[in-house]
Structure 1
Amino acid sequence: MKVLVIGSGGREHALVWKIHQSPRVSKIYCAPGNAGIQRMAECVELSVTDVEGLLSFAKKEKIDLTVVGPELSLTAGIVDTFEQQGLRIFGPSQDGAILEGSKVYTKEFLKKYNIPSAKFKVFKDREKAKQYIDECGAPLVVKADGLAAGKGVIVASTVQEAKEAVDLIMRDKAFGDAGNFLIVEECLKGEEASFIAFTDGQTILPLPTSQDHKAAFDGDLGPNTGGMGAYSPAPVVTEKIADQVMQEVMLPTIQGMAKEGRPYKGMLYAGLMIDGDKVNVLEFNCRFGDPEAQPLLMRLESDVVDIFDAVIDERLDQVEMKIDPRPTVCVVMASGGYPGSYESGKLIEGLEKVSDMRDVVVFHAGTTVKDGRVVSAGGRVLGVTAIGTDLEKAINLAYKAVGHIAWTGSFFRTDIGAKALRNVHETSMRKEVENKAKHIGN
Structure 2
Amino acid sequence: MNILILGAGGREHTFAWKIKQSSHCSQLFTAPGNAGTALCGENINVSVTDFDAVKEICLSRKIDMVVVGPEDPLVMGIYDYFKEDESLKNIILIGPSAAAAQLEGSKAFSKHFMQRHNIPTASYAEFTDANFEEGLQYLQQHSQPIVLKADGLAAGKGVVICETVAEAQKVFTSMIKERQFGEASAKVVIEEFLQGIEVSVFVLTDGKDYKIIGHAKDYKRIGVGDTGLNTGGMGCVSPVPFVNDVFMNKVEKTIIAPTIKGIHEEKLDYKGFVFFGLINVNNEPFVIEYNCRMGDPETEVVLPKLKNDFVELLKAVDKGGLQTCTIETDERACCTVMAVSGGYPGNYKKDIKITGLENVKKENDILIFHAGTKQNNGDILTNGGRVLAVSSFGKNIKEAVDKSTEVLNEISFEGMYFRKDIGYEF
Q: TM-score, normalised by structure 2?
A: 0.96
Over residues 359-396 of structure 1, what are the superposed CA-to-partner deviations in whole Å (9 max), with x where a residue is unaligned?
11111111111232111110111111111122222111
Aligned to 2:265: 259
Aligned to 2:97: 93
Shift of 1:357: 4.1
Aligned to 1:171: 177
Q: Give me the whole-angstrom Cα distance separating, in 1, the residues matched to 2:242 and 2:180.
A: 34
Q: Give me the whole-angstrom Cα distance separating, in 2, the residues matched to 1:132 and 1:6.
A: 41
Aligned to 1:159: 165
Q: Give me the whole-angstrom Cα distance separating, in 1, the residues matched to 2:360 and 2:421.
A: 20
Q: Give me the whole-angstrom Cα distance separating, in 1, the residues matched to 2:273 and 2:110.
A: 16
Q: Give me the whole-angstrom Cα distance separating, in 2, the residues matched to 1:163 and 1:366.
A: 35
Q: Give me the whole-angstrom Cα distance separating, in 1, the residues matched to 2:339 and 2:32.
A: 21
Aligned to 2:27: 27
SS in 1 for 2:360: helix
Moved more, 1-10 or 342-351: 342-351
- C-alpha contact (below 8 Å) 2:69/2:293 kept by paired residues: yes
Aligned to 2:207: 201
Amino acid at match of 1:167: T
Q: Give me the whole-angstrom Cα distance separating, in 2, the residues matched to 1:307 and 1:40.
A: 20
Q: Give me the whole-angstrom Cα distance separating, in 2, the residues matched to 1:18 and 1:139.
A: 41
Please list every run of 5 or more consecutive structure 2 residues that lacks an aligned counterpart in the other structure.
none
When you count helix as a share of all residues, which structure comes out higher? 1
Q: Give me the whole-angstrom Cα distance separating, in 2, the residues matched to 1:167 and 1:357.
A: 51
Q: Does 1:113 align with 2:121?
A: no
Aligned-CA RMSD value: 1.2
- C-alpha contact (below 8 Å) 2:338/2:390 kept by paired residues: yes
SS in 1 for 2:98: coil
Q: Does 1:55 align with 2:55?
A: yes
Moved more, 160-169 or 407-416: 160-169
Shift of 1:198: 0.7
Aligned to 1:403: 409
Shift of 1:409: 0.9
- C-alpha contact (below 8 Å) 2:148/2:191 kept by paired residues: yes
Shift of 1:167: 2.6
Match runs of 1:260-339 below 5 Å: 260-339=266-345
Moved more, 234-243 or 288-297: 234-243
SS in 1 for 2:99: coil
SS in 2 for 1:194: strand
The number of residue pairs the alignment matches comes to: 420
Moved more, 9-18 or 263-272: 263-272
- C-alpha contact (below 8 Å) 2:24/2:312 kept by paired residues: no
Q: Give me the whole-angstrom Cα distance separating, in 2, the residues matched to 1:158 and 1:353.
A: 49
* Counterpart among 147, 169, 191 of residue 197 in structure 2: 191
Shift of 1:102: 0.4
Amino acid at match of 2:114: L
Amino acid at match of 1:338: Y
Over residues 165-213 of structure 1, what are the superposed CA-to-partner deviations in whole Å (9 max), with x where a residue is unaligned?
2133222222211111001111100000001111111222102221111
SS in 1 for 2:215: coil
In structure 2, relative to structure 1, the CA distance for the partners of 1:278 and 1:82 (3 Å cut) is same
- C-alpha contact (below 8 Å) 1:254/1:264 kept by paired residues: no
* Counterpart among 346, 349, 353 of residue 343 in structure 1: 349
Aligned to 1:432: none
Q: TM-score, normalised by structure 1?
A: 0.93
Amino acid at match of 1:116: P
Over residues 235-278 of structure 1, what are the superposed CA-to-partner deviations in whole Å (9 max), with x where a residue is unaligned?
12221111111111111111112222314321011100102222
- C-alpha contact (below 8 Å) 1:201/1:314 kept by paired residues: no
* Counterpart among 104, 111, 120 of residue 108 in structure 2: 104
Shift of 1:355: 4.8
* Counterpart among 140, 151, 166 of residue 134 in structure 1: 140
Aligned to 2:243: 237
SS in 2 for 1:201: coil
SS in 2 for 1:195: strand
SS in 1 for 2:104: helix
Amino acid at match of 2:373: T
SS in 2 for 1:265: strand
Aligned to 1:424: none
Shift of 1:131: 1.6
Over residues 287-346 of structure 1, what are the superposed CA-to-partner deviations in whole Å (9 max), with x where a residue is unaligned?
111000001111111110000000011220121122111110000111111111111111
Please list every run of 5 or more consecutive structure 1 residues that lacks an aligned counterpart in the other structure.
422-442
Amino acid at match of 1:335: S
Over residues 46-66 of structure 1, what are the superposed CA-to-partner deviations in whole Å (9 max), with x where a residue is unaligned?
101111210121012110111
- C-alpha contact (below 8 Å) 1:10/1:382 kept by paired residues: yes
- C-alpha contact (below 8 Å) 1:331/1:383 kept by paired residues: yes
SS in 2 for 1:121: strand
Over residues 34-54 of structure 1, what are the superposed CA-to-partner deviations in whole Å (9 max), with x where a residue is unaligned?
011111110001101111210
Aligned to 1:36: 36
Aligned to 2:226: 220
Q: Does 1:67 align with 2:37?
A: no
Q: Does 1:380 align with 2:386?
A: yes
Identity %: 40
Aligned to 1:11: 11
Amino acid at match of 2:74: L
Match runs of 1:422-437 below 5 Å: none
Moved more, 31-40 or 317-326: 317-326
SS in 2 for 1:106: helix
Q: Does 1:391 align with 2:397?
A: yes
Amino acid at match of 2:350: S
Q: Give me the whole-angstrom Cα distance separating, in 1, the residues matched to 2:10 and 2:179.
A: 28
- C-alpha contact (below 8 Å) 2:208/2:264 kept by paired residues: no
SS in 1 for 2:15: helix
SS in 2 for 1:207: strand
Amino acid at match of 1:347: K
Q: Give me the whole-angstrom Cα distance separating, in 1, the residues matched to 2:10 and 2:182.
A: 25
Q: Give me the whole-angstrom Cα distance separating, in 1, the residues matched to 2:275 and 2:64.
A: 25
Shift of 1:214: 1.1
SS in 2 for 1:151: coil
In structure 2, relative to structure 1, the CA distance for the partners of 1:205 and 1:151 (3 Å cut) is same
